[in-house]
Structure 1
Amino acid sequence: MISITEAYVDSLALNAAASKNGRDLVKKNSFPLLCRSEDDTLLFGECKGSGSEPYRCSVDFLKPDDPVFRCSCPSRQFPCKHILGLLYAYTGGKAFATAEIPQDIKDKRDKASLREEKKKEAETAVESDAKPRRRQSNKSALTKKIAAQLEGIELADKLLAGIVQSGLGSVDKKTVQTLADQVKQLGNYYIPGIQIAFRALLLELQSDGDRESMYTAAIPRLTLLHSLLKKAKEYLEQRLPNPDETPMDTASTLEEAIGHAWQLAELKQLGLTVPNTELLQLSFRSYVDSSREEFVDEGYWITLGSGHIHATRTYRPYRAAKFIKEEDSQFKLVQIEELFVYPGELNARVRWENTTYRNPQPVDMRAVCSHARRSFPEVVKQVKNQIKNPLSDKHPVTLLAYKEIVNMSGQYVLVDEQGKQIPLKDIAAVNHATTPMLSLLKQGDLRDNAMLVMFEHDLEQNRLSAQPLSVVTDQGVIRLLY
């Protein structure tokens, strides 16, 4: 018997609209044919469409953990509303007749099986090769690309110099629009990261707030761009003579800041992988990045073995957002065969492909709490050292072990076992209040537990603040941010 739930179908939908459309098809009795295979590995049927011919859709559970969706409709959303409707019909108790597996699906299964066999043969051949060949790069193409990047950096440097020489006080809406048109040209030089950094500056310069606030927000953007252009130029000039022999920078996020999109094959070739890892998500949020013109789904995870706090980010461009599945909170412990780790610092970004899941146990939660940092002064020093680097992430996330959470005249404070304190405060980077939710915690949650926090340097008070994201106890994770 195929075991699926309505919640599972909801999780497959790319967005709320797709889910609603799938349910509506069932309500309108749009499925004249609903079938299931005798071995319970396939659901298939026909759905009425706008044309004379119905759409033929199916969900193949030959591999239960990796179902295959098929539909004859022209929709670019996947799974489409017809597939979702088929599944909602099943979970809703609609009658499915037992029928033979269609021949076209049998043929597709055979082809998939053949591809899998060839893939395994190829993997076996690679593993048995004592000296695998290094991927050959095209030196001429790399040289041309780096030369174009340096040309783009020179253009960006001139634009930045013009802003600095004229002064922020002279920047008006017309100036910003002119700069925006010029920044578009940076898209021709393989430096999308630098282009995004420039867009972020322009967004600050065109904000409708008071001028003083605009200056305060723009100065760090100017500093970041200046440092990025300088370091990028030095780095690329060093690589230009022999780009295929000079290794890429994996000790920092410079390549990504310039605009390189790391491929999983590259990360594996560079040895940036960790085998057989277990991760637990401690916090999740979705937000809009206007400079990238993308929606971002961001999760913070802890590695049970090492205690490292990693980040995952899924970018959904505005124009393609409806075709890309939104990420969601994950409450189960994720078991990963091979973890790909991007170059980074305290919260290096990670990705993975093959996973299994299990429910976290109290022993897992105790392991998570054991990794929490116990000395606040050491954490503050490490965070400050990272923030000082202009190109570093200015909002590192850390898991802190606390003796107690105290409310001092309306200000929540985290206290460690030595009596050292870190003030808790909602920060602009999160753009969502969580500190007031601390008042809802049970008395036992206020002492001898761990808290995941995001740091920010308060320029006005010249001190670090931390916003609580989650409280971790030996019973589970209490999420303050959704």
Structure 2
Amino acid sequence: MNHLTEAYVDSLALNSSAIKNGKDLVKKNSFPQLCQSEDGTIIFGECKGSGKDPYQCSVDVIKEGIPVFRCTCPSRQFPCKHNLGLMYAFTSGKPFAIAPIPQDIADKRTKAEKREEKQKEATTTDSPAPKRKPNKSALIKKITAQLEGIHIAEKLIFQLVTSGLGSLDKKALQTADEQAKQLGNYFIPGIQSALREFILIFRSELEREKVYPVSIEQLTTLHTLLKKSKEYLTNRLENPDLPIDAESTLEEWIGHAWQIAELRELSRVRYDIELLQLSFRSYSDPARGEFIDEGYWADLQSGQIHLTRTYRPFRAAKYIREEDSIFHVVHAKELAVYPGELNTRVRFEEATYRDAGPHDYQHIQQGASKSYTDVIKQVKNLIKNPLSDKHPVVLLYYAGIKKTETSYVLIDVQGKQIPLADIPYLNEPTTSLIAMLGRQHFENQAMLVMFEHNWATNRLEAQPLSIIAANEIIRLLF
């Protein structure tokens, strides 16, 4: 239980309300019994509840990095407030008596160990595990429905465009939104979200003259998405044995939710990888109807900047853990890598943590891009593809930061400059925070930035997300 700290418990909670409720239980002395096993792998106890009998709760950490929460309460949240309160009681120094592990928990441990042994035997045999065979008739039925949905989306866009973007009033947009909702029956949630985003652009409070350039870009994305999706799905319908596209982001654009099991079968997993989070933010996406928790991480092996993204539907947000900033180095036993380009999305489930140190920061610095000419070329080639990420994140080494009349610029060792600015996409200003940096941070450091093409000036701009110095990481967005 040495790794059980208050910050770690905070990271396990679903949201800030769960944290408050768990800590309140400790303040109210709601735990008449607090115990821990002799080997320190489990804490358990009783917590007063609304009924006459206290809830039996426990936190089992026999497998480091994968805590198991058990509680007799009816809550659908994991960990529930009683589990959180139990852990906060431990981290706050409350006395825990040494006691034998309850028999029911010991039995559950034994069953879990037997399951793991069977899984281990299955994965260590000479012959590889057979790949799952898709149900061909179900696949054909799904693709047929997807193509029908694409046809409906094409008709809707055609109607919007032929009537003229300037004529889109509230009534027309409301009708279009209702028609877009019907696409939810055709297994193309990604296309549906892209279409709703186009509609929401016009329903925003921006002046029409500012809306048109953004809407045209989104319309271009939609046109390309529908065209490529139609070609891809038609080919798969004609030949259902064709493998799923696991190299590009097209499947995710259509709306496919990759499962870790799928990514394993496609050999898109890496093992024993260390990651350090450099930036984090949470935001809402009305087009998807979800909250999104997004983190950018430095891969300490490859130097690549990865992306993690957790989606929390508005309707079910309180049942899904809200991610937060992580300041420790994460050691992922298995890292699933999604199809992608520059900032590939990754996912890990089983992980342990260690403190970050100067050697980690310096290692990240060494992987920063030093030639802005090469970076700008790479970013431009990326964002000109309609289905590529329009806001790539890059780690830049800079020889200096120079103040201009309106903002700042980064300067590389050849004197090439990249302007810094607060980009609309992030909707969170950070550039002004540069003025608060120490003088030592104005030269020979690394900066994580997010790029965006400014339509008004027709140039690339970058917003600073964090500074990576030799002995610290200064987060401007966390």
Q: How far off is 1:34 after superposition?
A: 2.6
Q: How far off is 1:222 after superposition?
A: 1.3
**Closer/same/farther in 2, CA of residues 345 and 4 from structure 1, 3 Å limit:** closer
| 8 Å contact from structure 2 (residues 293, 323) kept in 1 | yes
Correspondent of 1:442 among 433, 438, 442? 438
**Within 1, Cα distance between the matches of 2:117 and 2:383?**
49
Classify the secondary structure of the residue corresponding to 2:474.
strand
Alignment deviations for residues 416-465 of structure 1 (CA, whole Å, 9 cap, x no partner): 11111111001011111111111111111111111111110011111111
**Within 2, Cα distance between the matches of 1:81 and 1:49?**
11
| 8 Å contact from structure 1 (residues 286, 298) kept in 2 | yes
* 1:136 paired residue number: 133
* 1:63 paired residue number: 63
Alignment deviations for residues 399-430 of structure 1 (CA, whole Å, 9 cap, x no partner): 11111100022320111111111110010111
Q: How far off is 1:5 after superposition?
A: 3.1
Q: How far off is 1:2 after superposition?
A: 5.9
Correspondent of 2:238 among 237, 241, 244? 241
Deviates more, 1:44-53 or 1:309-318: 44-53
* 1:46 paired residue number: 46
The TM-score normalised by the length of structure 2 is 0.96
Correspondent of 1:202 among 199, 203, 226? 199
Q: How far off is 1:177 after superposition?
A: 1.3
Query: Match for 1:430: what amino acid?
Result: L
**Closer/same/farther in 2, CA of residues 446 and 278 from structure 1, 3 Å limit:** same
**Within 2, Cα distance between the matches of 1:41 and 1:359?**
21
**Within 2, Cα distance between the matches of 1:328 and 1:464?**
29
Query: Match for 1:84: what amino acid?
Result: L
Correspondent of 1:264 among 236, 251, 260? 260
Question: Is the counterpart of residue 337 in structure 1 residue 318 in structure 2?
Answer: no
Alignment deviations for residues 68-94 of structure 1 (CA, whole Å, 9 cap, x no partner): 211011000111111122222333343
**Within 1, Cα distance between the matches of 2:161 and 2:112?**
59
| 8 Å contact from structure 1 (residues 456, 465) kept in 2 | yes
Correspondent of 1:282 among 253, 278, 293? 278
**Within 2, Cα distance between the matches of 1:59 and 1:367?**
36
Query: Match for 1:12: what amino acid?
Result: L
**Within 1, Cα distance between the matches of 2:89 and 2:471?**
37
**Within 1, Cα distance between the matches of 2:48 and 2:301?**
52
What 5-or-longer segments of structure 2 have no aligned partner?
none
Q: How far off is 1:471 after superposition?
A: 1.2
The TM-score normalised by the length of structure 1 is 0.95
Classify the secondary structure of the residue corresponding to 1:101.
coil
Classify the secondary structure of the residue corresponding to 1:240.
helix
Correspondent of 1:171 among 151, 168, 172? 168
**Within 2, Cα distance between the matches of 1:363 and 1:315?**
33
What 5-or-longer segments of structure 1 have no aligned partner?
none
**Within 1, Cα distance between the matches of 2:138 and 2:82?**
45
Question: Is the counterpart of residue 19 in structure 1 residue 24 in structure 2?
Answer: no
**Within 2, Cα distance between the matches of 1:3 and 1:351?**
22
Deviates more, 1:162-171 or 1:78-87: 78-87
1:35-434 to structure 2, matched below 5 A, reads: 35-125=35-125, 128-129=126-127, 132-243=129-240, 245-434=241-430
CA RMSD of aligned residues (A): 1.8
| 8 Å contact from structure 2 (residues 447, 468) kept in 1 | yes
Alignment deviations for residues 39-92 of structure 1 (CA, whole Å, 9 cap, x no partner): 433322222222222211112233343322110110001111111222223333
| 8 Å contact from structure 1 (residues 452, 468) kept in 2 | yes
Classify the secondary structure of the residue corresponding to 2:408.
strand
Classify the secondary structure of the residue corresponding to 1:57.
strand
| 8 Å contact from structure 2 (residues 147, 230) kept in 1 | yes
Q: How far off is 1:3 after superposition?
A: 6.1
| 8 Å contact from structure 1 (residues 71, 83) kept in 2 | yes
| 8 Å contact from structure 2 (residues 65, 351) kept in 1 | no
**Within 2, Cα distance between the matches of 1:358 and 1:45?**
28
**Within 1, Cα distance between the matches of 2:260 and 2:314?**
24
Classify the secondary structure of the residue corresponding to 1:134.
coil
**Within 2, Cα distance between the matches of 1:474 and 1:34?**
43
**Closer/same/farther in 2, CA of residues 296 and 231 from structure 1, 3 Å limit:** same
**Within 1, Cα distance between the matches of 2:247 and 2:115?**
37
**Closer/same/farther in 2, CA of residues 106 and 200 from structure 1, 3 Å limit:** same
Q: How far off is 1:10 after superposition?
A: 2.4
Which aligned runs of 4 or more in structure 1 are off by greater than 6 angstroms? none
Classify the secondary structure of the residue corresponding to 2:238.
coil
Classify the secondary structure of the residue corresponding to 2:124.
helix
Deviates more, 1:310-319 or 1:98-107: 98-107
Alignment deviations for residues 183-206 of structure 1 (CA, whole Å, 9 cap, x no partner): 111011110000010111111111
Correspondent of 1:452 among 448, 452, 476? 448
| 8 Å contact from structure 1 (residues 55, 73) kept in 2 | yes
* 1:477 paired residue number: 473
Identity among equivalent positions (%) equals: 61
